[in-house]
Structure 1
């Protein structure tokens, strides 16, 4: 017994030492590479500092109190331009650029740049060619898109004849901004200039600037979740300024968005690739689990479950590969395992497995009971000429759009982030209501009752969950509701 106890104690000690070494060596916050005064610390930049102390004192104080300021990184280290730069112009005898792009930041933060470059965030401006953008640009108006969509997703920054960004395209800190140097993204979307605070980037409010609203209410879901409640109650214990910031080690009272999608945990390093741990696509009309294909050209793309996976070393015949060769394949199970590793920083296995079981079940309910049959009906209507090829010109399309783009997304994301009200009342309840009392009535108006009944019988009736619509609730179900209602509110209260 003593020998066994000693063995266990020794094994536990080895594990703790290994974990300590891992946390000390592999998981640290990024700092500028190179030597101060050599790789950064331009002497001419001291003139910028002296001027901005009085001209823009707020900007100066933000910089001076930042890690950049305290490390000797000055204005010219970030803003100095080359003659060949499209956005270069002379300012106080120095050639500078207003825009500090991710490519500029990569001189000191190459790892973060490479991770961000391949991520969903850097591709956010691709919405400019989507239905969302068509809805905004045409039905709303370009000015609404500039002031709304592009502030989060990013725009293409245009440069005038003086080398300065045009007023129509600047300022913009959209996460997928297309910069004059060809790089994509804006580091200051999360690390707001000129403090570039890691603590601020780790707070849920930073993500909530864009991840909110009727179609992706992530900050609202987080705030109602147990995680969000615990965060607000214990924010002083979050250790947000920590270099390592390893969940379960440097803090344990609550996770933030950054914790789950980017943060370090025991046995997994931090990342600026925000999609690396996502195993479902919750944005599309019908959700699918997604594998991740990484390429030697710095790009990556999602491949839905069921499609053939390329092998490492192959050149996929897919435009999303942009001619690259596969360097890594992460299945949806690999991605989920990454997220589960973060969860295990605070939770036992049964809690993590239970969450994912309930989450998967909700997504499958949405998919199979509502999204797939409705999508099939819409597709048949288009094929038969009842709907035009143009989007948004018929009410039925609007109803379907909101079912998946608003209510369906809210339900799926609510379940993913443990927000019960968004899973049901703002999510599935709205899906149910608009399916039965908006989509179906509009379907009958569009094609007539006979054809509508045919379509519903074909696509809805085989699904057990729709039995009540065809057969009624049934006396047994009504009696059960009546009994519970009258027990609470008195006999005869259920009408």
Structure 2
């Protein structure tokens, strides 16, 4: 038997090696056929002929676009004032007003959606001017994602002068230039650049949900092409509409107050900590910005309108009763999260009330300000900020995005842990100050 094996061994090695070589060749041929696809559009545009030598990637993208086969050339979007290597600054930026010449419906819809408000919403943040210029105007931080919002002509000119280009035109944030692909913008990966990470992990929530898992399996061709697998766009941009919105807004808050008195009281406390209401419950100037940039819903009609859009999208795959019940669960997670959040705020507010925390110069009131964000002046307020902007967001958004991991383990559970830390830290502050612990601030009346 051993002699037979030794006689056959060279043959076995030869067969296996030959099979591997053939498979490798086939794989390489397949990969070459995908990567060596050449654009079929001939370059007759003088701009493209020049840029093929200088920035060929731009031209190849344009050749692969629908624009190239529909007589939309460089000058159609950038104008004809840039004619040589000495005047590149004369090339106009293709903003929404340019896109509207052909895509008027989409641009009009975009102007009514949340994305259009992103730039203004960022600029409304009280501590924005504390951030590094490269993060904001250089679009390396907040500005990198908020640039999708509409801007004035002056703002666009200023951003370009500082070296910013991509995304400043808004539409090309999702339809990346110069291919401007509809298929790209319809893929959930297009959302990932901005809707990811600590404070807005919608991509991670989606990818870990059954919706996302099924889509990624479909994209990998493990599941059939026709299988139901909702994307971000299925729910937030149904039928290709560009006026995206959400019922609860980015803050997970809304008016009018709920019928539940305790929940209403908790919501007042959160609104006070956001500086939307002052400590006595009166509206502040910050309220106007919150309403203008749709950080939250301000009427029952608006909230129900967005909720009906959600139900309609869910109803494509689920019964309306199932969909309504699931969304109701998300609402209840907001209610539960608000109870924890309000308790934490009241503990810190009591420290201000009793003079154990000193009001910072940029604060309007002796009260915690959640919009101070990462610039919160004390350790206990940093914990409060993280509890709100990170864990509370994951708690309710994880529920709405069908991700138990984010709703519970990365949201609700850390909220509880944070509250324990806030209680203990407050007790330490009082002990150091030599004062007996007092009751937290009373629950406000709505």
Structure 1 Cα separation of the partners of residues 256 and 226 of structure 2: 31
Match of 2:238 in 1: 263
Match of 1:60 in 2: 59
Extract unaligned runs of 5+ from structure 2. Answer: 1-42, 258-270, 272-286, 294-298, 363-371
Residue 397 of structure 2 contacts residue 407 of structure 2 at CA under 8 Å; is this kept in 1?
yes
Match of 1:281 in 2: 249
Structure in which a larger fraction of residues adopt helix: 2
Alignment CA distance shift 1:89-1:204 (3 Å): same
TM-score of the superposition, structure 1-length normalised? 0.62
- In the alignment, structure 1 residue 133 sits paired with structure 2 residue 96: no
**1:419 offset after TM fit, Å?**
0.6
Match of 1:80 in 2: 79
Deviations 1:140-178, CA, capped at 9 Å, x for gaps: x33344312111112885648xxx932x341342xxx4x
Deviations 1:436-484, CA, capped at 9 Å, x for gaps: 1x2111211233496545118x569xxxxxxxxxxxxxxxxxxxxxxxx
Deviations 1:42-92, CA, capped at 9 Å, x for gaps: xx98222333344333222211121111212111101106xxxxxx75547
- In the alignment, structure 1 residue 358 sits paired with structure 2 residue 342: no
**1:332 offset after TM fit, Å?**
0.9
Match of 1:314 in 2: none
Alignment CA distance shift 1:363-1:70 (3 Å): same
Deviations 1:104-125, CA, capped at 9 Å, x for gaps: 1111111111111232212212
Structure 2 Cα separation of the partners of residues 387 and 343 of structure 1: 49
Structure 2 Cα separation of the partners of residues 151 and 260 of structure 1: 24
The aligned runs of 1:241-252 (5 Å cut-off) are 252=227
Number of aligned pairs? Answer: 343
Structure 2 Cα separation of the partners of residues 289 and 55 of structure 1: 55
Match of 2:16 in 1: none
Match of 1:165 in 2: 160
Residue 63 of structure 1 contacts residue 69 of structure 1 at CA under 8 Å; is this kept in 2?
yes
Structure in which a larger fraction of residues adopt strand: 1
Residue 400 of structure 1 contacts residue 439 of structure 1 at CA under 8 Å; is this kept in 2?
yes
Structure 2 Cα separation of the partners of residues 440 and 261 of structure 1: 39
Pick one of 139, 148, 172 that aligns with 2:141: 148
Structure 2 Cα separation of the partners of residues 373 and 445 of structure 1: 17
Match of 2:70 in 1: 71
- In the alignment, structure 1 residue 193 sits paired with structure 2 residue 177: yes
Instruction: Compute the RMSD of aligned alpha carbons.
Output: 3.6
Structure 2 Cα separation of the partners of residues 123 and 432 of structure 1: 33
Residue 282 of structure 1 contacts residue 413 of structure 1 at CA under 8 Å; is this kept in 2?
no
The aligned runs of 1:395-410 (5 Å cut-off) are 395-410=379-394
Structure 2 Cα separation of the partners of residues 413 and 52 of structure 1: 45
Match of 2:402 in 1: 418
**1:223 offset after TM fit, Å?**
0.7
Structure 2 Cα separation of the partners of residues 263 and 134 of structure 1: 36
Structure 1 Cα separation of the partners of residues 141 and 88 of structure 2: 34
Residue 80 of structure 1 contacts residue 95 of structure 1 at CA under 8 Å; is this kept in 2?
no
* Partner SS for 2:180: coil
Alignment CA distance shift 1:321-1:213 (3 Å): closer
Deviations 1:258-298, CA, capped at 9 Å, x for gaps: 1110121xxxxx311111xx2113426xx22689xxxxxxx
Q: Which structure carries more relative contact order (alpha carbon 8 Å, separation 6+)? A: 2
The aligned runs of 1:86-235 (5 Å cut-off) are 91=84, 96-126=90-120, 127-131=122-126, 133=128, 137=131, 141-145=132-136, 146=138, 147-154=140-147, 157=155, 159=157, 165-166=160-161, 168-173=162-167, 177=168, 186-235=170-219
Match of 2:20 in 1: none
Extract unaligned runs of 5+ from structure 1. Answer: 1-43, 82-87, 178-184, 239-249, 265-269, 292-304, 306-316, 323-327, 461-495
TM-score of the superposition, structure 2-length normalised? 0.68
* Partner SS for 1:454: coil
Residue 53 of structure 1 contacts residue 60 of structure 1 at CA under 8 Å; is this kept in 2?
yes
* Partner SS for 1:354: helix
Match of 1:16 in 2: none
Structure 1 Cα separation of the partners of residues 330 and 303 of structure 2: 15
